[in-house]
Chain A
Amino acid sequence: MGTRGWLFDIGKCTGCHACEVACATWNATGAVSWRQIVKIETGVYPNVGTRNLSMPCLHCDHAPCLQACPVAAITKRDDGVVLVDQAKCVGCMFCFWACPFGVPQFGAEGKMSKCTFCADRPAELPRACEEVCPTKAILSGEMHELEALAARSGGERVGGPAGPAMFVIR
């Protein structure tokens, strides 16, 4: 199995928050949200607009969160998915600060948590967020497949030294 990641089409996202709800429900995330819709205002008056970004963990190739964890509570699976072992986590938030996207969340139980790529969900099924997205703005899959899809739509991989496993169609 190759490494897995995301393809996100910014133009299709309506900011309906269905992905957030599906993620929180499937993963029982409690008070924290592993996927967050961020609204960004664009343009200059009078030509202004709002665009929505649905942000999960991007399961970076060289995950800075993993490198910054002082107790080795963060690991990367063979399929590229980055996971937090809450039993080892000491809740220092170093992963939050190291993550270029500020993804890891600090929970009420004093531990960090984040998107697990729906680790308990069969690989052949879409992820919970992807399954409910009404506009199909979110797609998960193996990176080489997503790369081909992104190329057809003029998308490109999110940049940065960490190597985020996400393609974006702007």
Chain B
Amino acid sequence: MTRMAVFWILIPLFIGVLFIGLYRNLLAKLAVIFGASGRFIPWGDVDAAALGQAYADEVVFQRRIRLRGRVPWTRHILISWGFSVLFVFDILTALLTKYLPSEPFLDGNVGWLFLKFGLNLSGMVLLVGLLIALARSVTTAGTEQARFNDMPGTVFLLLVVVTGFVAQGMRFANVPPQPGYGWALLGSWMGEAMRAGAPYAGSHAFVWVTHALLASAFLAYLGWSRMIHVFAAPLGRIFYSQVALREAKVRTVMEGLLKPRAGSR
């Protein structure tokens, strides 16, 4: 079986594992919540402004983490935004280069450079955040604080990012510098640094496939680890902005505790 055959078998498998994880650890949990409360608030009672504010506070600016300190906030915002933007650019690149009629966008190199710049900038942002997280894991090893670190998640994502940059550096090193290639930032700097060892024919393919498999495996890991907070935390916290929902929940329960059950006494 060729390396690419393994690749095309494993990628859908990992994506399937992600969806099973999301079903078991997110959708099934939400079903427990709605089953336990059995309560929604009418559309008219939804506080849209509070929803928007909660989204801005919890997801965009992550102000709650900022209250805990500058370093945790910097680390988290670099990782979350770096990962999110990188993911969007990855999907965009795949769609534009493989599936959508995109010649007008990619022609003349401007669109292509935009994609490369976005991928590399977000990748670098993610890399810096992960290095801060790794430094924290190393410096707090053996302490009580270490229980709170997500070392496996950090190392896993770091491997994805590093193999991505190495694969890109090898690819750049294999060919003469192209116009505008400096827009690839770290990728182009690595390409220059690695040029002396070029060409990387077989090793580039190996690193690229490794990167793609790791990236897909990481997506699968998202649904089965603490990384599921990527989906769960924004959901739960944005709901919390709905005062009517919170008050209705508590009031019904408390009033229920005061009332004798039907048939008793």
**Is the Cβ of B237 less than 8 Å from the Cβ of A92?**
yes
Q: Is A168 within 8 A of B33, CB to CB?
A: no
Asked if A68 and B29 sit within 8 Å, CB to CB, the answer is: yes
Smallest CB gap from B249: residue in A: A102
Question: Which residues on A sit within 8 Å (CB–CB) of B67?
Answer: 108
* CB atoms of A170 and B260 under 8 A apart: yes
Question: Which of B81-89, B198-206, B228-236 participates in binding chain A?
Answer: B228-236
Cβ-defined contact, B37 with A53, below 8 A: no
B254 close to A (CB within 8 Å): yes
Give the residues in chain A near B148, CB-CB below 8 Å.
86-87
**Residues 81 to 112 of chain A near chain B (Cβ within 8 Å):** 86-88, 90-94, 96-102, 106, 108-110
Contact between chains at B233 and A97 (CB < 8 Å): no
Query: Total A-B pairs in contact (CB under 8 Å)?
Result: 103
Q: Would you call A42 an interface residue if the criterion is a C-beta within 8 Å of the partner chain's C-beta atoms?
A: yes
Q: B239, A97: Cβ atoms under 8 Å?
A: yes
CA distance A51 to B230 in the complex (A): 41
Whether, in the assembled complex, A135 has its beta carbon less than 8 Å from a beta carbon of chain B, the answer is: no
Residues facing A in B198-247 (CB within 8 A) are 225-226, 228-229, 232-233, 235-237, 239-240, 246
- Give the interface SS of chain A, mostly helix, strand, loop or mixed: loop
B147 contacts A87, CB within 8 Å? yes
Report the separation of the CA atoms of residues A106 and B36 in the bound assembly, to the nearest whole angstrom: 19
Are B239 and A93 in contact, CB atoms less than 8 angstroms apart? yes
Task: Pick the residue among B65, B240, B261 that contacts A93 (CB under 8 A).
Answer: B240
Given contacts A70-B26, A102-B249, contact A10 B258 (CB under 8 A): yes
A38 at the interface (CB under 8 A from B): yes
Residues of chain A within 8 A of B228, CB atoms compared: 70-71, 90
Q: For the complex, what is the distance from the CA of A104 to the CA of B148, rounded to whole Å?
A: 19
CB distance from A167 to the nearest CB of B (A): 11
The one of A10, A71, A94, A108 in contact with B33, judged by C-beta atoms closer than 8 angstroms, is A94
Q: Contact mask A137-162 → B, CB, 8 Å, 1/0?
A: 00000000000000000101011011
Asked whether A97 lies within 8 Å of B68 as measured between CB atoms, the reply is no
Number of interface residues of B (CB under 8 A): 39
For residue A126, CB closer than 8 A to chain B, the reply is no
Q: Please name the residue on chain B nearest to A162 by beta carbon.
A: B36
Residue from the list A67, A92, A99, A154 in contact with B236, Cβ < 8 A: A92
Contact check, B258 vs A51: say whether CB atoms are below 8 A apart.
Answer: yes
The listed residue (B29, B226, B246, B256) touching A102 by CB distance below 8 A is B246
| With known contacts A96-B240, A100-B253, A156-B264, A40–B233 Cβ distance under 8 A | no
Q: Kindly list the 6 A-B residue pairs having the minimum CB-CB distance in the complex, ordered from nearest.
A: A93-B236, A90-B229, A92-B232, A87-B147, A64-B36, A92-B236
**Which residues of A are in contact with B by a Cβ distance under 8 Å?**
10, 38, 40, 42, 51, 53, 55, 64, 67-71, 86-88, 90-94, 96-102, 106, 108-110, 154, 156, 158-159, 161-162, 168, 170
Sample of 14 more A-B contacts, CB < 8 Å, known A53-B257, A93-B237: A42-B258, A53-B258, A67-B32, A69-B29, A70-B229, A71-B225, A86-B148, A90-B233, A92-B232, A92-B235, A94-B236, A98-B36, A156-B264, A170-B258
What would 13 A/B residue contacts be, using CB atoms closer than 8 Å? A10-B258, A40-B258, A53-B257, A64-B32, A64-B33, A70-B229, A71-B228, A86-B148, A94-B30, A102-B250, A110-B64, A110-B65, A170-B258
